[in-house]
Amino acid sequence: MKKEDIRIVASNRKARHEYFIEDTIEAGIVLKGTEVKSIRAGRINVKESYAIVENGEIFIYNMHISPYEQGNIHNVDPIRKRKLLLHKREIKRLEAQVMQKGYTLIPLTVYINEDGLVKIELALGKGKKLYDKREDIAKRDAMRKIERQVKERY
């Protein structure tokens, strides 16, 4: 898939700061009514959302899709749980990994692919401790300082 073929609608930038990302997977989302129109308008928030495996299916919680302005009675609850579409073997693999201590399924990005379908990039992440976050910030600052000095010399 080419980078030009997809349009990122929402991203969870905080996820890479809060978690060590072990693996990523693409999933479809079951949407109702006018939710697709709201997503196309960019009225979606995935910052506080997470996914859970329940009865062999994956559901995403706390993903907020604002009601469509020109919508009618077909607008649904903005923060309802939504089913994610994955193959059974992928769900079983993710379920086995989530059972391990500290692993969580978190959404990284919601995008529209070249076929016009709404997809979500799920990540299997392990929570960072406070000292890990400080270490990442220190590394990032050191790299900025080095780049600045190299830029000054040339």
Domains along the sequence of the chain with CATH: 3-128 (2.40.280.10)
Residue 16 phi, psi dihedral angles, 5° rounding? -70, -20
The predicted structure's pLDDT at residue 28: 93
Mean pLDDT across 31-60: 89
Strands 19-29 and 82-85: antiparallel
The answer to whether 15 and 24 are in contact (CB under 8 A) is: no
Tokens of 125: 């992440």
For 29-38, b/e burial (b = at least 16 CB within 10 A) is bebeebbbeb
CA–CA separation, 68 vs 106, rounded Å? 25
Q: What average pLDDT does range 131-146 have in this prediction?
A: 87
Instruction: Give the residue with greater pLDDT, 148 vs 2.
Output: 148
Please report which confidence band the pLDDT of residue 26 belongs to, taking 50, 70 and 90 as the band edges: very high
Decide if 114 contacts 5 (C-beta within 8 A).
yes
Indicate if the pLDDT at residue 72 is higher than 90.
no
Weakest mean pLDDT among 57-61, 72-76, 83-87, 133-137: 72-76
Closest CA to 120 of 78, 76, 84, 80: 84
Confidence of residue 2 (pLDDT cuts 50, 70, 90): low
Burial category of 129 from C-beta neighbours within 10 Å (exposed 0-12, middle 13-18, buried 19 and up):
exposed
**pLDDT of 19 above 80:** yes
